[in-house]
Amino acid sequence: MNRAYRDGGGGYSLGIGGAITPAVKYLVIANASVFLLKVLLASLDLEAVFLRLFGLVPSLVYRSLFLWQLVTYLFIHGDLGHILINMFMLWMFGAEMERTWGTRRFLNYYFLTGVGAGIVTCFFSPQSLTIGASGAIFGVMLAYGMTFPNREILFWFIFPMKAKHFVLLMGGIELLASANWVSDGIGHFAHLGGMLFGYIYLKRAWRLKEWVSEMRWKARRRRFEVMDGEEERKKYPFH
């Protein structure tokens, strides 16, 4: 995703998403329509203009306030393989999450993580032209792993593993690649950004005071020991 036409997803084969849900269906239709539009514009030699206006170009976002790019880049894909992989992953994880959350919450989360992925990309890949939905899709994948941690999915359609382990594996791969600044045309920072914003949302970490209180309560609970009997009451007379 750091270069035009690649944002990744690259070859991750998963479990079963079930019947397609309304929001996922319309997202797939929108992405497919924009892909066909891009193909048409390419035949008219207008593709470069289209990508510069609606792909994610960080310099234009923070210098010229092309803020719409933080949303529009999610609907643009480079080639057929790129869009097929991303839409497959969207169906695989997104349909189940939409059934669980409902359409409104799912869409709010999808665009939150997509925009978050774009913001992270602007900070860490300022010279890139970024396109593709996989920042949001990695956020949805994280939500799936946190909601259904013990569900079994297939990696490469072959290797069974629990959803939580799959998410950790994918996150680790993206973290390693971004730490080494791998130049492979895949938006590793966008993937991590989608997961980061998804985690913040799911854990309500933006409510800092509430989040800190919850962490303290969990720490105290681990240290708490229930004492019974007369001798224990003598040792611990105060409450």
Model confidence pLDDT, tens digit, residues 125-145: 888 899 999 999 999 999 999
11 CB-near residues (< 8 Å, 6+ apart): 85, 156
DSSP state of 155: E
Q: Lowest-pLDDT range, 1-5, 66-70, 83-87, 137-141?
A: 1-5
* CATH architecture for the domain at 22-208: Up-down Bundle (1.20)
Average pLDDT score, the chain: 82
Longest dimension (CA), the chain: 87
Q: According to the model, what pLDDT value does residue 135 have?
A: 94
pLDDT digits (tens, 9 = 90+) for 180-211: 655 556 777 889 999 999 999 998 765 655 65
- With 0-12 / 13-18 / 19 or more C-beta atoms within 10 angstroms meaning exposed / middle / buried, residue 113 is buried
- pLDDT > 50? residue 120: yes
